[in-house]
Amino acid sequence: MKTINSIIKKLNSLYFFFITISIIVFAGCKFDKKTAETEQVEPKKDPIIEIVTELMDFKTLDTIPSGWNTFKYLNNSNETHLFLLDKYPEGKTIDDTFKDIIPPFQKGMDLINEGKADEGYAEFNKLPAWFFEVVFTGGSGLVSPKKSSLTTLKLEPGYYLMECYVKMENGKFHTTMGMAKPIIVTNENSGNLPPEATVDITISSTEGINYEGAIEKGEQVFAVHFKDQIAHEHFLGHDVNLVRLNDEADLEVLEKWMDWSDPKGLIMPAPEGFIFMGGVNDLPAGSTGYFTAVFEPGTYAFIAEVPKAMSKKMLKTFEVSD
């Protein structure tokens, strides 16, 4: 009997022990859950929008917020590319691009390639009036195959077209081959801030490209200030492209190739001796765009994608020391 009573006492003790443990664990779980709910925060938005080119395409988001956005452009293709963001007037879309814009541009280019320059430029007069309402709002400068660029731009809400107008070997624009993607910029602001620049560049039609001081090796963030903007002889404005020069680089070849309206301009393959590292594409007067680049010791150049860049002071070489 004594033994039975002892067993019962032990069982009761174990029962109360497990009950006590259960209460502690349950209370702890409730506390942890409450704490987790209290400390839960809204996940941060990724400030970098990735754009990938594999062939003749732009793989990226269809919709992005307004305000400051940073674009990482990965050119995984075997050709040199760029991207430019065109803000379209109300009611116009990519369908209007292929109906009204691409045909006169491509036909004009075809005639220029055939040596019929006057007839070619006459085709450009067939561009519709709404084309001149398109606002070029920046993008990446030229990027060599298997390279990338980082560009930061401020965008207003609206309908945009992302395009690359580099030309294939036969003179056809990449735009016509599928490198044209609509992007919707919403009213929701990204909340991002522009990066802190280490180098300030100014560009204008009268003074060309200017900056102060030496550019050092390592990562540099460039603020590109557009003092003005005009339509040059090739119907586009000026921009800033960063290029690394190899030993075989010929600046006259580079200058000529940077003019798309030349039969051999912006045509594939890109000339030997140059590695294109991005930059900031056309922006309106008074605007600022940013791009980031990593420098190793060597020779580099800033060049605008305009006819006769040297005489316009829009081709400047510089050295990065070890």
CATH number of the domain at 156, please. Answer: 2.60.40.420
**Is the CB of residue 282 less than 8 Å from the CB of residue 232?**
no
53 and 186 together in one domain: yes
The more confidently predicted of residues 322 and 31 is 322
**Is the CB of residue 229 less than 8 Å from the CB of residue 285?**
yes
Does the residue 200 lie in any domain? yes
Q: What is the pLDDT of residues 240-286, one digit of tens each?
A: 999 999 998 999 999 999 999 999 999 999 999 999 999 999 999 99
Please state, rounded to an integer, the average pLDDT across all residues of the chain: 88
298 and 230 together in one domain: yes
The more confidently predicted of residues 111 and 16 is 111
Q: What is the mean pLDDT of residues 68-79?
A: 98
Instruction: Please check the confidence at residue 167 and state whether its pLDDT lies above 50.
Output: yes
Q: How many domains does the chain have?
A: 2
227 and 310 together in one domain: yes
68 and 13 together in one domain: no
30 and 54 together in one domain: no
Q: What is the mean pLDDT of residues 19-33?
A: 38
Q: What is the pLDDT of residues 286-305, one digit of tens each?
A: 999 999 999 999 999 999 99
Does the residue 21 lie in any domain? yes
Task: Among 35-44, 113-122, 138-147, 292-301, name the one with the lowest average pLDDT.
Answer: 35-44
Region of 280 on the Ramachandran plot (φ > 0 left; ψ -120 to 50 alpha; else beta): beta
Per-residue pLDDT, 307: 97
The number of CA neighbours under 13 Å toward the Cβ of 275 is 16
197 and 230 together in one domain: yes
Per-residue pLDDT, 46: 57
Per-residue pLDDT, 39: 44
Does the residue 129 lie in any domain? no
Binning pLDDT at 50, 70 and 90, where does residue 45 land? low
**SS3 of 280, please?**
strand
- CA 220-222-223 angle, to 5 degrees, is 155
Question: CA-based Rg of the chain, rounded to a whole angstrom?
Answer: 29
Taking the model in full, what pTM does it have?
0.85
Does the residue 123 lie in any domain? no
**Cα torsion 131, 303, 175, 47: sign:** negative
Fill in the amino acid letter for 24. Answer: I
279 and 203 together in one domain: yes
Per-residue pLDDT, 18: 37
145 and 62 together in one domain: yes
Give the residue numbers spanning the domain of 316: 48-88+134-320
Per-residue pLDDT, 14: 38
Instruction: Please check the confidence at residue 59 and state whether its pLDDT lies above 50.
Output: yes
28 and 160 together in one domain: no
Per-residue pLDDT, 118: 92
> Encoding tokens for residue 110?
């075809």
Q: What is the mean pLDDT of residues 9-14?
A: 40
Please list, in sequence order, all residues whose beta carbon lies within 8 angstroms of the beta carbon of residue 7, skipping any fewer than 6 positions away.
Answer: none
Binning pLDDT at 50, 70 and 90, where does residue 47 land? confident
24 and 54 together in one domain: no
Per-residue pLDDT, 33: 39
Per-residue pLDDT, 29: 40
252 and 282 together in one domain: yes
Per-residue pLDDT, 235: 83
Instruction: Please check the confidence at residue 232 and state whether its pLDDT lies above 80.
Output: yes
- Looking at the chain, the whole-number percentage of residues with pLDDT higher than 90 is 80
Does the residue 119 lie in any domain? no
Instruction: Please check the confidence at residue 81 and state whether its pLDDT lies above 70.
Output: yes
- CA 67-73-75 angle, to 5 degrees, is 165
23 and 53 together in one domain: no
Does the residue 260 lie in any domain? yes
Per-residue pLDDT, 135: 97
Does the residue 125 lie in any domain? no
Does the residue 108 lie in any domain? no
